[in-house]
Chain A
Amino acid sequence: MRILPSTILLTAAATSVVLALSGCAGSAGTTSSSPAAIDSLDGSSLTVYNAQHEELTQEWADEFSAETGVTITLRNGSDSELGNQIIAEGAASPADVFLTENSPAMSLVDNAGLFADLDSDVLDQVPDAYKPSTGTWTGIAARSTVVVYNPALISEAELPASLEDLADPAWKGRWAASPSGADFQAIVSAMLELKGADATSEWLTAMKANSVEYKGNSTVMKAVNAGEIPMGVIYHYYWYIDQAGTKENSANTALHYLKNQDPGAFVSVSGGGVLGSSKNQAAAQAFVKFITSKTGQSILQTGTSFEYPVASDVTPNPALPALDTLDAPVVDPATLNSTKVTDLMTEAGIL
Chain B
Amino acid sequence: MDNVTTSTAPRGQRQRIASPGSRPSALLLALVCVIAVAVLVPVGFVASVVAQVGWPTLAPLIFRPKVGELLVNSVLLVVIGVPLCVTIGVGGAWLVERTILPGRRLWAVLLAAPLAVPAFVSSYGWVSAVPSLGGLSGGLLVATLAYFPLVYLPAAATIRRLDPSLEETARSLGHGSWGVFFTVVLPQLRLAIWGGGLVVALHLLSEYGAFALIRFDTFTTAIVVQYQSTFAGPAASALGVVLAMICLVLLVLEASTRGHARYAKVGSGSGRPGMRLPLGPFAPVAVAALGVLVMLSLGVPLASLGRWLIAGGAAAWSQPELGTAVVQTMLLAGGGAAAAIAVAMPVAWLAVRHPGRIARTLEGATYVSSSLPAIIVALALVTVTLRTVPALYQTTWTVVFAYVIIFMPRALVSLRSGLAQAPIALEEAARALGRSPMVARMHVTLPLILPAIGAGAALVGLGAANELTATLLLAPNGTRTLATQFWSASSAVAYANAAPYAVLLILLAAPAVAILFTQSRKRERG
Contact = CB atoms under 8 A, between A and B. Distances in A.
A94 B477 contact: yes
Given A13-B37, A15-B48, A74 B230 contact: no
Interface residues of A, number: 62
Nearest to A215: B212
A214 interface: yes
A73 interface: yes
A210 interface: no
Given A92-B390, A351-B235, A10 B40 contact: yes
16 contacts: A1-B256, A3-B357, A3-B360, A10-B40, A11-B365, A14-B40, A19-B51, A22-B388, A78-B229, A80-B229, A81-B231, A88-B231, A88-B232, A215-B491, A216-B491, A349-B66
Interface of B is mostly: helix
A10 B361 contact: yes
Given A6-B361, A11-B40, A89-B386, 11 more contacts: A14-B41, A73-B477, A78-B229, A84-B233, A92-B390, A219-B215, A228-B131, A342-B235, A346-B66, A347-B64, A351-B226
B289 interface: no
B13 interface: no
B215 A11 contact: no
Contacts of B51: 15, 19
B45 A18 contact: yes
Contact of A349 (B41, B65, B357): B65
Interface in A1-48: 1-4, 6-7, 10-19, 21-22, 24-25, 28, 47
B376 interface: no
- Interface residue range, chain B: 35 or more
A42 B384 CA distance: 36
B228 interface: yes
A76 B252 CA distance: 39
A223 B478 contact: no
B368 interface: yes
A11 B43 contact: yes
B389 interface: yes
A350 B61 CA distance: 13
A126 to B, nearest CB: 27
Contacts of A346: 61, 64, 66, 226, 235
Interface in B24-70: 36-38, 40-41, 43-45, 47-48, 51-52, 61, 64-66, 69
Nearest to A13: B37
A88 B45 contact: no
A211 B230 CA distance: 23
A180 interface: yes
A249 B231 CA distance: 31
B132 interface: yes
A89 B37 CA distance: 26
B76 interface: no
B43 A351 contact: no
Contact of A80 (B43, B228, B478): B228
B517 interface: no
A8 to B, nearest CB: 10
Nearest to B41: A14
A236 interface: no
Nearest to B226: A351
Contacts of B227: 81
A92 B368 CA distance: 32
A213 B215 contact: yes
A185 B364 CA distance: 43
Given A2-B357, A215-B491, A15 B47 contact: yes
